[in-house]
Amino acid sequence: MKKLLVTGASGFLGSRIVKFYSGRYDVYAPGHSEMDITDEENVYAVFKDFKPHFVIHSAAVSDVGMCDREPEKSWKINVDGSRNIAAASAECRAKCLLCSSDQVYFRSNVKGPHKEEEMLAPVNIYGREKKKAEEECLGRNPECVLLRLSWLYDTRTILEKEHSDLFRTMLLKLQGQEKLSYPVHDVRGMTDVKEVIGNLEKALELKGGIYNFGSPNDKNTFETIFAMFTELNWDVGRLEKNEEAFAANPRDLSMCPVKLNNSGITFRPALEALVRNGAEYRQGQNDI
Residue ranges of domains in the chain: 3-152+189-213, 156-188+217-253+269-282
Q: Which of 145, 138, 68 is nearest to 103 (CA)?
A: 68
Letter for the amino acid at 287?
D
Q: Which of 55, 24, 20 is nearest to 198 (CA)?
A: 20
pTM of the model: 0.95
For the chain, the distance separating the N- and C-terminal CA atoms, rounded to the nearest angstrom, is 46
**CA 23 to chain CA mean position, Å:** 23
Query: What pLDDT score does 163 carry?
Result: 79
CATH class of 3-152+189-213: alpha beta
**How far apart (Å, rounded) are the C-alpha atoms in residues 106 and 120?**
9
**Per-residue tens of pLDDT for the chain, all 288 residues:** 999 999 999 999 999 999 999 999 999 999 999 999 999 999 999 999 999 999 999 999 999 999 999 999 999 999 999 999 999 999 999 999 999 999 999 988 888 999 999 999 898 999 999 999 999 999 999 999 999 999 999 999 888 778 789 999 999 999 898 899 999 999 999 999 999 999 999 999 999 999 999 999 999 999 999 999 999 999 999 999 999 999 999 999 999 999 999 999 999 999 999 999 999 988 766 544
If one counts every other C-beta atom within 10 angstroms of the C-beta of residue 2, the result is: 12
Please list the alpha-helical segments (H only) found in 191-269: 193-203, 221-232, 258-262
Query: What pLDDT score does 160 carry?
Result: 78
Q: CB burial class (10 A; 0-12, 13-18, 19+) of residue 193?
A: buried
Query: What pLDDT score does 288 carry?
Result: 47
**How far apart (Å, rounded) are the C-alpha atoms in residues 225 and 159?**
26
Which residues, listed in sequence order, are joined to residue 210 by a DSSP beta bridge?
146
CA angle 189, 194, 200 (to 5 degrees): 90
**How far apart (Å, rounded) are the C-alpha atoms in residues 43 and 89?**
10
**How far apart (Å, rounded) are the C-alpha atoms in residues 111 and 281?**
34
Query: What pLDDT score does 109 carry?
Result: 84
Query: What pLDDT score does 285 carry?
Result: 64
Dihedral sign of CA atoms 238, 268, 191, 159 in order: positive
Query: What pLDDT score does 194 carry?
Result: 97
Contacts 24+ apart (CB under 8 A), 260-265: 260/211, 260/212, 260/213, 263/206, 263/207, 263/211, 264/202, 265/199, 265/202, 265/203, 265/206, 265/213
